[in-house]
Amino acid sequence: MGHLENKVAIITGSTYGIGEAIARILAKEGAISIVTGRTQDEGKKVVGEIISEGGKAEYFRLDVTDEKRIEELMKQVYDKYRRIDILVNNAGVAGPNKPTHEYTKREWEWVFDVNVTGAFLCTKYAVPYLKMSGGGNIIYMSSIYGIIGAPDIPAYHASKAANRVMAKIDALLYAKDGIRVNSIHPGFIWTPLVENLLKEQSAATGKSVEGLKNELDALHPIGHIGEPNDIAYGVLYLVSDEAKFVTGSELIIDGGYTTT
Ligand code: NAP
């Protein structure tokens, strides 16, 4: 028996990157991973691989900026599986990399629409089903930049700070319902999001992506950036019964980045 046998887990943004790793690890522990995102081919590929390894998963198309679709998806999942136990608010975008005064309102709002309002709406529509399922878990994927600042991608860092406090608010609001809510704060993790940021920086500075990655590695006292599974195992801990006394907390998984 896995830690999460037959628990239904919705992971936003799980077509690739950190979310994909979360979907795989939770399914390995017996959960039914609901893989979501906008790119159907990627989502179906992840689901196919989970199933071929003996796990349970299903892909549902989801853009977290589409409130109607979020409401519909929660209902579809509950109607089919008769429970929702876990929501991982993982979908996120970095947004343009330029100083605050150069941001347009539209650019700022797009990052907040996905990272903040998207997470709010998923929580909003999942909570009634979590309650009907007798409680459960919500994770907000924040960042080290929900805790400390950095002189780049300003809307992203501000959105991740919002995610950190959203977890604490919901932890307090839903503790009596048996719903635990926590945030996770990854350091740099090698995913398409970081690779794309480095490609942009490479185009702007003329430095190689490999050289820029080495610079990122050096920012982490442990000597290198992380991999998606480093974060997925943190999610597994927080949503498992071993963490039954943990709510409103911040799990930092950053190779020591914020320690110095
Ligand atoms: P990624 O590689 O870019 O993957 C992002 C995921 O979000 C994809 O599955 C993407 O799927 C989905 N997504 C993007 N916009 C969406 C939308 N509007 N609606 C639904 N899904 C959407 O990013 P990642 O690095 O894995 O990051 C995942 C989370 O971890 C983010 O919240 C990020 O802020 C956080 N994080 C990452 C790092 C890092 O170093 N990588 C560090 C700290 C925190 P589709 O394109 O199919 O929609």
Average pLDDT over residues 38-58: 98
Q: Is the pTM for the entire model greater than 0.85? A: yes
- pLDDT over 90 percentage in the chain: 99
Instruction: Give mean pLDDT, residues 136-142.
Output: 99
In this structure, are strands 250-253 and 179-186 parallel, antiparallel, or unpaired? parallel
First to last CA, the chain: 40
Atom of ligand 1 nearest to the CA of 39: 47
Question: Where does 56-188 have alpha helices with state H?
Answer: 67-81, 105-112, 118-132, 154-174
Q: Give me the pLDDT at residue 1, please.
A: 62
Q: Tell me, what's the pLDDT at 80?
A: 98
CB atoms < 10 A from the CB of 105, how many? 7
Average pLDDT over residues 156-161: 98
Strands 32-37 and 250-253: unpaired
Per-residue CA distances from 60 to 76, 84, 159, 231 (Å): 9, 14, 25, 23
Write the residue with the smallest CA distance to atom 1 of ligand 1: 193
State how far the Cα of 44 lies from the Cα of 240, in Å rounded to an integer: 26
Q: Find out whether the beta carbon of 22 lies less than 6 Å from any atom of ligand 1.
A: no
pLDDT at 6 over 80: yes
Give me 150's structure tokens.
């950095």
Strand partners, 10: 34, 87
Tell me which residue has tokens 């490999």.
210
pLDDT at 257: 98
pLDDT over 80 (residue 62) = yes
Which helix (H) or strand (E) covers residue 183, if one does?
strand 179-186
- pLDDT for 165-217, tens place per residue? 999 999 999 999 999 999 999 999 999 999 999 999 999 999 999 999 999 99
CATH class of the region 8-189+226-254: alpha beta
The pLDDT assigned to 25 comes to: 98
Amino acid identity for residue 12 in this structure: T
Please indicate whether residue 73, judged by its CB atom, sits closer than 6 Å to ligand 1.
Answer: no
**CA 141 to centroid of ligand 1, rounded, Å:** 9
Q: Is the pLDDT of residue 10 over 70?
A: yes
Q: State yes or no: pLDDT of 78 exceeds 70.
A: yes
Q: Please work out whether the CB of residue 60 comes within 6 Å of at least one atom of ligand 1.
A: no
**Ligand 1 binding pocket includes 194 (Cβ within 6 Å):** yes
Q: How far is CA 107 from CA 95, 110, 116, 172, in A?
A: 7, 5, 14, 32
Q: What is the mean pLDDT of residues 233-257?
A: 98
The residues annotated as belonging to the active site are 156
Per-residue model confidence as pLDDT tens digits over 90-127? 999 999 999 999 999 999 999 999 999 999 999 999 99
Mutate to test the pocket of ligand 1, among 35, 38, 224 (most ligand atoms within 8 A of CB): 38
Backbone angles phi and psi of 150, in degrees to 5: -160, 150
* 260, pLDDT greater than 90: no
pLDDT value at position 237? Answer: 98
* Average pLDDT of every residue of the chain: 97
Residue 92 Cα to ligand 1 midpoint, Å, equals 4
Q: What is the pLDDT of residue 87?
A: 99
- Tell me, using a 6 A CB cutoff, whether residue 94 lines ligand 1: no
